[in-house]
Amino acid sequence: MTTNADQATNLDQATLLGHPVGLFVLFATEMWERFSYYGMRALLILYLTKHWLYSDGDAGMIYGTYAALVYAVPVLGGMIADRFLGLRKAIVFGAALLVVGHLGMAFEGPPATVVDGVVIRSQGHEQIFYLALSFIVVGVGFLKANISTIVGALYGENDPRRDGGFTIFYMGINLGAFVATLLCAYLGETYGWRYGFGLAGIGMVAGLATFLLGARFLQGVGLPPEPMALSEKRLGLALESRIYIASILFVLLIWSAIQNTQEMGVLLTAFTAVVTSYMIWFSLTQCTKQERDRMLTMLFLMFVSVVFWALFEQAGSSLTLFTDRNVDRGSFFTAGMFQSLNPFFIIVLAPLFAVLWLFLGRRSREPSVAFKFGLAILQVGLGFFALVIGAGFAGPDGQVAVIWLILMYLLHTTGELCLSPVGLSMVTKLSVQRVAAMMMGVWFLSSAFAAYVGGWIAGLMAIDGS
């Protein structure tokens, strides 16, 4: 007779293509989550400038503030999952918030109009838009870091399948991003914003359903660390309920932050300056010479990464506006669809780069982390230079041939493949053990700061279409 325990064991040990079945549940969940995220991202800057009639500068700052929060909030979501909710509950809650946020984006309302030089917007629908963005920020915070953690937990520490599992998982991310930027961008720009945003929302519903239906294959991973503690009541509410209520209140805080981009920038800049100053002081006064050199090298490389990501993030803002106004796209392709070039090139080139680094490593010729960061900066710069060359060949209508845009995305992607995979590894290798966890937080903070700076740069790169 087969017992429930036997069935559970069989589910835990089930494999597909040599990997735990749970990996493919997470693959599909993350694919749909990234589908919804990148589908919305492909439309956001165009929605801000065309529907709400924000200036390029204001739209860039809204986009940058939103992106900064998307990078920063997962740090809090990860802490809450580790200490209280467990990974599974955090992912389900985050996915539910994302469904609300993405479907909320579909309530576009009437387009803004200009009366006597003043932009008139529907205040109610505009606030729904900001609230929807806030739900997405907090939803990503609960889901993004925690789902990656579950992937790692499916394998033993020395399991030789581990790297292959993460490769499959990250392929899901890029597959979702590639398909979403084609479909959502086309629907949104061709038939109406609500259709593109609505499709992104449907994608997130599919992701939530996939995780709920496939959770039984996760080998008992991701359960709350102290299940009984979640039921402890204060003021008549269990701890789990208080966490959910506090998270909704945090959504309202984010709602305000996205609308106050300047204040958000001052706060983020000041906090970054304080943290950086402390780390420099710590390196100079509390470390041995060898530790000091490692810490200062890491801080410098973090600065380089800020520059890279601030420029790279133009893909979702100023470069999409440039594509919309100044690139000869033909009659079918919309501006947002060209964001699909980045995930497409990653899918094609990531295996080649992995083989290249392995080939060079076996011959003791693999470039250092610093050299890879330098290559990344060089390539992102060359990508923009390609557009400068293309602009020199523009016709009388100011339209640039699409091949220059494709070349730019190719160079930006090869730069990303030089820098992105080694970033977290660099932090773990160079950090002094006493502050290793803090330095990981500083790394994520640098990504958030880079996203905000990217929004500021987008404003400086405002294009009038001429």
Q: Give the mean model confidence (pLDDT) for residues 52-68.
A: 94
Q: Is the domain of 278 the same as that of 244? A: no
Q: Is the domain of 220 the same as that of 334? A: no
Question: Among 431, 143, 162, which residue's Cα sits nearest to residue 301?
Answer: 431
Look-up of token digits 């008139």:
120
- Please count the residues of the chain: 466
Q: Is the domain of 375 the same as that of 441? A: yes
Amino acid at 240: E
Burial 404-435 (b: 16+ CB within 10 A, else e): bbebbbbbbbbbbbbbbebbeebbeebbbeeb
Q: Contact 90/80 with Cβ under 8 angstroms?
A: yes
Look-up of token digits 């290793």:
436
pLDDT in tens, 109-140: 999 999 988 999 999 999 999 999 999 999 99
pLDDT class of 88 with cuts at 50, 70, 90: very high
Q: Is the domain of 184 the same as that of 318? A: no
Q: Is the domain of 182 the same as that of 268? A: no
- 3-state SS assignment for residue 16: strand
Asked whether residue 225 carries a pLDDT value surpassing 70, the answer given is: yes
From residue 376, alpha-carbon distances to 208, 315, 386, 411 in Å are 35, 16, 15, 9
Q: Contact 415/380 with Cβ under 8 angstroms?
A: yes
Q: Contact 106/132 with Cβ under 8 angstroms?
A: no
Amino acid at 444: F
Helix, strand, coil distribution of the chain in percent, nearest 5: 80, 5, 15
Which region among 1-10, 95-104, 265-274, 298-307 has the lowest average model confidence (pLDDT)?
1-10
Q: Is the domain of 267 the same as that of 247? A: no
Range of the domain at 310: 261-466
Q: Contact 135/97 with Cβ under 8 angstroms?
A: yes
The structural domain count of the chain equals 2
Q: Contact 96/33 with Cβ under 8 angstroms?
A: no
Q: Is the domain of 288 the same as that of 191? A: no
CA angle 95, 19, 170 (to 5 degrees): 50
Q: Is the domain of 244 the same as that of 300? A: no
* Pairing status of strand 19-20 against strand 15-16: antiparallel
Confidence (pLDDT) at 10: 46
Q: Is the domain of 347 the same as that of 452? A: yes
CB atoms within 10 A of CB 201: 25
Question: Among 337, 285, 339, which residue's Cα sits nearest to residue 315?
Answer: 339
Which of 219, 242, 259 lies at the terminal end of a domain, its last residue?
Answer: 259
Question: pTM here?
Answer: 0.91
Rounded to 5 degrees, what are φ and ψ at 16? -140, 125
Q: Is 34 exposed, middle or buried (0-12, 13-18, 19+ CB in 10 A)?
A: buried
Q: Contact 442/280 with Cβ under 8 angstroms?
A: no
Question: Among 166, 153, 5, which residue's Cα sits nearest to residue 88?
Answer: 153
CA torsion sign for 425, 427, 430, 434 is: negative
Q: What CATH number is associated with residue 255?
A: 1.20.1250.20
Asked whether residue 20 carries a pLDDT value surpassing 80, the answer given is: yes
The angle that helices 162-190 and 341-362 make with each other, rounded to 10 degrees, is 160
Contacts of 261 (CB under 8 A, 6+ apart): 58, 61, 62, 64, 65, 455
Which of 203, 237, 259 lies at the terminal end of a domain, its last residue?
Answer: 259
CA torsion sign for 399, 404, 405, 408 is: negative
Helical residues (DSSP H) of 330-368, grouped into ranges: 341-362
Q: Is the domain of 222 the same as that of 278? A: no
CA distance 411 to 139: 32
Of all residues in the chain, the percent with pLDDT exceeding 70 is 96
Q: Is the domain of 396 the same as that of 384? A: yes
From residue 217, alpha-carbon distances to 85, 93, 146, 173 in Å are 19, 19, 17, 20
Q: Is the domain of 364 the same as that of 223? A: no
Q: Please, which residues bridge with residue 328 across strands?
A: 401
Amino acid at 244: Y
pLDDT in tens, 413-453: 999 999 987 887 788 788 887 877 678 778 888 889 999 99
pLDDT in tens, 285-322: 988 999 999 999 999 999 999 999 999 999 999 999 99
Confidence (pLDDT) at 13: 58
pLDDT class of 15 with cuts at 50, 70, 90: confident
Of all residues in the chain, the percent with pLDDT exceeding 90 is 63
pLDDT class of 7 with cuts at 50, 70, 90: very low
Question: Among 31, 58, 280, which residue's Cα sits nearest to residue 143?
Answer: 31
Which of 259, 275, 302 lies at the terminal end of a domain, its last residue?
Answer: 259
pLDDT class of 5 with cuts at 50, 70, 90: very low
Q: Give the mean model confidence (pLDDT) for residues 171-195.
A: 95
CA distance 261 to 249: 19
Look-up of token digits 């920020």:
137
